[in-house]
Structure 1
């Protein structure tokens, strides 16, 4: 969780309006009330607040983005790239030795700013079309990883080229189907048009996010007919 002192020190370097800074400080340090007990709040941003994602992104931009941009130019050999959305991040390196070195340094960088690396959600894996081709030649496949609701894996295109592919996470898809089924069971007496509109809205939202070419032969095209009779 983000330490308030570190966050405010960073904001003071970028914002000169003291009244605005004070307003932010009041919002993020508001006491936490659980039942009849009130406790002080010195870390983290209020859940559900529209301000929280913005503040978290500002903080991580300094802690991760700017730092990685600096070390990738001055300390890392070969190509190094990063993709970050909120607190989900993927780092890629040309050389395995640089990836291993970075993996050791990253927790120290996070700890310096009051953050922690989720060991159970983090992994160091081989990647790239050359690694995928070599693994395939030995009858193996490269490890997959999850990112933003997708399972990422290396596969071949129709022309035989290796590239990173994406498919919807099976556990998320199963959870979405279960949610729809539970909704239908709980609303058996509800107006059918209202139920249909809700289901269409959920399906449309899923397709808008997951409707990518790698999902063409999976997701709704394959799974929905299978589960349609169970909804």
Structure 2
């Protein structure tokens, strides 16, 4: 089950509109951080502790719960358990004036046997879900075993590219070296988060898009300067990092070592 909570508790950030925000940018930033912290503490009581208790009392089979801020994913072995949890979660949130975001809450069939079960029923591929900037898909590894494939969320990637394009416009009069150093930091940070196994092709597309945006920005600096790809390619090799796996598979990352 994939869902986001919404309601009065999730809007604790409204304190940004109070007198705290009137004392300047620093005060507004502090208020925002305090609001996020308070919302997280609130949801820990409303959701986390209750979900742990529900799992101990009612769960049959494995139940996996992951929450980040007001975004959460809950996994069940049996569909009936997921349906039961969803109904009781809605009741729990309503007691505190909260509700689930209907547009972001779904029950989907996902996991090791999802593709096989859906084929038997004449259905298509298993559905995917977005969480923490990744689209999670049912996939298989080279040996044919099940694995969760994580791909960069396309919508978020487009938003990042638009932000880079706008910033390059703002920096159009800066020296090429300064622009390149800025792009190095931006692209390196993006890759450090998203460079997980199975995601290199999409990250390669991201790097190519950044290269195109930078070349277009440099060409606009002078109508006479056509900036051939051969010359720009050397600049890109210097300043725009190429994607490499930065995070191992989860079973390797969490394996105990002696």
TM range (shorter): 0.7 to 0.9
Residue by residue, what CA displacement relative to the aligned partner does 1:116-169 show, whole Å, maximum 9, x if unpaired? 210001101111111123335757210111101111110011111112221100
Does residue 82 of structure 2 align to residue 99 of structure 1?
yes
Unaligned runs of 5+ in 1: 8-26, 37-45
Partner of 2:112: 129
Normalised by the length of structure 2, the TM-score is: 0.69
- 1:144 and 1:152 in contact (8 A); partners too: yes
User: How many aligned positions are there?
Assistant: 199
Residue by residue, what CA displacement relative to the aligned partner does 1:20-75 show, whole Å, maximum 9, x if unpaired? xxxxxxx9868736xx9xxxxxxxxx885332232222111111111111111112
1:71 & 1:188 partners in 2: Cα distance? 56
Gap change, CA 1:3 and 1:96, over 3 Å in 2: closer
Unaligned runs of 5+ in 2: 1-7, 23-28, 215-258
1:158 & 1:205 partners in 2: Cα distance? 29
Does residue 55 of structure 2 align to residue 72 of structure 1?
yes
- 1:154 and 1:162 in contact (8 A); partners too: yes
Cα root mean square deviation, aligned: 2.9
- 1:133 and 1:162 in contact (8 A); partners too: no
Q: Indicate which of 195, 207, 219 corresponds to 2:179.
A: 195
Does residue 32 of structure 2 align to residue 61 of structure 1?
no
Aligned 1:49-198 pairs, distance under 5 A: 49-135=32-118, 138=122, 140-198=124-182
Gap change, CA 1:102 and 1:69, over 3 Å in 2: same
